[in-house]
Structure 1
Amino acid sequence: MYSERPSREIPGAVVWHTVRSAGGTVLPDGCMDLVWRDGTVLVAGPDTEPFTVAASPDPGVGVRFPSGLLPHLLGVPAAHLRNDRVPLDDVVGQRAAAVLTGLDPADAGAAFESFAVARLRDAGAPDPAVTAVARMLARGVSVADVAAATGLSARALHRLGSRHFGYGPKTLAGILRLQRAQTLAAQGVPSAVVAADCGYVDQAHLIRESRRITGRPFGELRQDASAANRSTPLPSGSVTVA
Structure 2
Amino acid sequence: MQQQQTNATDPKTMFQSEVGYTVAVLNRTTNAILVPNLSIGDVNATLVNNQATVGIQMLNNTQTFLNGLYVMATVTGPQGVYLQRNASNMQMAPNSQMQFNVWTNGQQLVAGDYDVQIDAYYGLKDNLRFDAPNGKRYTYHKRGQTKLHVSAKHAKTLTADDALLQHRFVMPWWGWVLLAVILGGLTGGILYAALRRRTVNYLFVLTDGQIIDRGSVRMRRFEKRNVVVPSGFVTQTTAKTVVALAANRVENTFVLTENSNLSANVNKL
TM over 0.5: no
The answer to which structure, 1 or 2, has the higher relative contact order (CA under 8 A, 6+ apart) is 1
Higher strand share: 2
Higher helix share: 1
**TM-score, normalised with respect to structure 1:** 0.22
